[in-house]
């Protein structure tokens, strides 16, 4: 193991075992921005006990919230738009072991979550998925394919439930979500 890979693993260990338990948004965001290389928009929040699979690869728009205990695999890149609400215990994966064109079994595919999306508790988003603007994902859903804008998807695997008319899908909707000890 090289010194660079050791330091990288140490940074990730420190992030997932120490920093994510610090009850201060300012301290966590400082670490995430300056040591993990995440891009975090103004007034956005990553609550306590979230874990990440690698440094870099996370872009979080303004007024977005990632609630407690989420697992975000940033290896393939995760882009989260503005005014997005990701509920507790959500898992976002960007890497899997499916065979690719070169015959290798590891691949990384980005996940894109557009503006004004709401993702329910314990949902799972799989590699390569794009969730359209204003879409909602039901609690416990496993999203394996792209979700069109302004729709509600749920189930395992997630399927279309209905179209959504979302009064919050406009540039004026902003919400600052910070709890004192989260």
Among residues 43, 46, 42, the alpha carbon closest in space to that of 31 is found at: 46
Tell me: cis bond preceding 19? Omega within 30 of 0 counts. no
Active-site position among 25, 34, 43, 97: 97
Delineate the domains of the chain, giving CATH numbers in brackets.
3-163 (2.160.10.10)
Write out pLDDT tens, residues 118-140: 999 999 999 999 999 999 999 99
d(CA 145, CA 149): 13
pLDDT single digits (tens) 18-69: 999 999 989 999 999 999 999 999 999 999 999 999 999 999 999 999 999 9
> Does 114 score more than 80 pLDDT?
yes
Helices (H), the chain: 3-17, 25-34
The confidence score (pLDDT) of residue 177 equals: 61
Whether 97 is catalytic is yes
């Amino acid at each position: 193991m090289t010194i660079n890979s050791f330091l990288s693993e140490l940074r990730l260990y420190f992030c997932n075992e120490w920093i994510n338990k610090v009850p201060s948004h300012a301290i966590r965001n400082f670490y995430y921005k300056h040591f993990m290389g995440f891009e975090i928009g103004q007034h956005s929040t990553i609550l306590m006990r979230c874990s990440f699979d690698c440094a870099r690869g996370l872009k979080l728009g303004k007024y977005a919230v990632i609630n407690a205990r989420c697992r975000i695999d940033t290896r393939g890149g995760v882009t989260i738009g503005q005014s997005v609400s990701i509920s507790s215990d959500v898992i976002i994966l960007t890497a899997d072991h499916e065979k690719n064109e070169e015959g290798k079994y590891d691949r990384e595919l980005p996940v894109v979550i557009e503006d004004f999306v709401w993702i329910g508790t314990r949902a799972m988003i799989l590699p390569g998925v794009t969730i359209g603007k204003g879409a909602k994902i039901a609690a416990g859903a496993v999203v394996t394919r792209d979700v069109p804008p302004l729709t509600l998807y749920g189930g395992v695997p997630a399927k279309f439930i209905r179209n959504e008319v979302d009064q919050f899908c406009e540039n004026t909707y902003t919400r600052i979500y910070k709890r004192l000890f989260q």
